[in-house]
Structure 1
């Protein structure tokens, strides 16, 4: 019985390792090395960026998140 338990533990460890390696390969395959995504329209010669590349949206989202966390923690103290 002890040999079966050891075998199951080793199989679980091997399965976890294989899953982790395959997921990391998938993530690295999708990496764009931090390049900014731009699209260019040849007829108008304008360059546009994606909305999530604009720092103002990131700053506004961070401020909104801080406000929401502050409101949640503040409402927890009133009880």
Structure 2
């Protein structure tokens, strides 16, 4: 009975070692660098025609947000005496 238990432990250790070895080899086999060529020179225009590209909309939006926050905080100062 004792030898069967020792044999099972040794078999388990060997199987764990082999599984770790093969999984490690499989992971290194996937570590191939990709052959990609990337063109960083694009011909896209730098001018933005979208609304969020115009700074006037940002200024008007910030002013409106500040006014709304001021009105909300000012309205909460009611004295209930």
Relative contact order, higher structure (CA 8 A, sep 6+): 1
Q: TM-score, normalised by structure 1?
A: 0.43
Greater fraction helix:
1
* Structure label with greater radius of gyration: 2
Q: TM-score, normalised by structure 2?
A: 0.42
Greater fraction strand:
1
